[in-house]
Structure 1
Amino acid sequence: MKNICVYCGSSPGNQPTYAEGAKSLARALVENNFGLVYGGSNLGLMGVVAEEVLALGGRAIGIIPETLVSKELAHPALTELFVTRNMHERKAMMAEMSDGFIALPGGLGTFEELFEILTWGQLSFHNKPVGVLNVNGYYDGLLSFLDHASAEAFIRPQHRSMLMATSCASELLAAFKQYQAPAVVKWV
C-alpha cells in the first residue's frame, strides 16, 4: 500500500477529540509511510489531517473540484493538488490514487463518499480495505444500523464485514495490511 484516502468533514465538529483523532491518523499514516489522499481543503478535519501529515514530513495529495476551490479554500501547501471539473471526477481520482479508504467524522459528503466506496467494493470494482476511525464513538449509531441491515438480510454478512471500525488509527492500518476482500458472490 502506498496511499490512503481519508474522507472527513470540512468542519471540525464540536468536540476537540475529533481533531485529536485526525492528528492520530496523520501520525499513523506517516509512521507507516502512507501518503494521504483527501479532499484538498484546509478547513475542518480535512485541514487538520493534512497539516499534521505535512508537519511530520509526510505526503499530502489533495483533490478538489474547481467549484469548491474558493468555497472550501484549497490547501495552499500540499505535496500535490489536483483540481477536477466536478465531484464525480474527484471521487474517481481519489479512488484510483488510493490503496485503502478511511472515514473520520464528517457530514453528508463524508457519508456519501464512504458508502460509494463500500458499494464499489461490494460490487468488486475494487478489493481495497475500507474503515472508519470511530473517534469518540462517532460512528456507533451507523455501525449498529449496518448490523441491523445485515440481520434483516439487506446486507450480506461478508459485505458488512468489509467495513472495519476501531478508535485506534494504528490498529486500523494494521488491519488494512491484513485485509482480504470477500469472494465474489453471484447475485441471484
Structure 2
Amino acid sequence: MLAAVRVGGWVVYPLTLLAVLAMAITIDRAYVFARFHAFRRLDAMFVTQPGTPLWLHETRAQSLATRIERDMSRGFWLLETIVTAAPLLGLLGTIVGMMHSFQLFGGSGLVNPGAVTGGVAQSLVATAIGLIVALFALFAFNYFSRRLERLMDDLEVFANERLSELRLGAENTVANASDVP
C-alpha cells in the first residue's frame, strides 16, 4: 500500500478513503441484511383487535414497508457516489502524472528519463486503484440493491397474503352475521 502511495501520488489518499468507506458500508449492509427479520415485525402488526378497520392494517403495512426500505438502503447513495468518483479521481491522477512527465521535456530534449517513467507509473497506478475501488463499490451496490428489491417483493407478497386473510375473515363474519335470524 505504501508503495502504491509513493508511486501513485497524492490521488491515492482520497482513493484510499473511498475504498475504506465502500468496505465499511459493505460490511455494515451485510450485517444488517443478515440480521433483518421483517416478517416477524409484519406478522406482529397483523395481530388484529376486534373491530380494527382493514384500511388501518393496509396503512400500517405500507408505512412499515417504507421504513424498512429506507433503513435497509442506508448508505446506498454513498456507494453510488463512490462508483462515479473513484474512476474520476483515478483519471485525475492520470492527468497529474502525465503532466508531471511532460514538464520534464525541455527545449533541449529529455532531461530525466527516470522521472518521466515515474510520472507514467503514477498515472497508471492512480487509474488502476480508481477502477478497483469503483468496481468493488459497484458490485456491492448492485448486490445490495438486488437483495433489497427481493426483500421488498417478499414483504409485499407477505402483506398481501395477510390482508387477504383479514378481508376473508371480515367477509365471513359479515356473511355469518347476515345468516343469523
Q: TM-score range with shorter-chain normalisation?
A: under 0.3
More relative contact order in 1 or in 2 (CA 8 Å, sep 6+)? 2
Richer in helix (by share): 2
TM-score, with structure 2 as normaliser: 0.23
The structure that has the greater radius of gyration is 2
Richer in strand (by share): 1
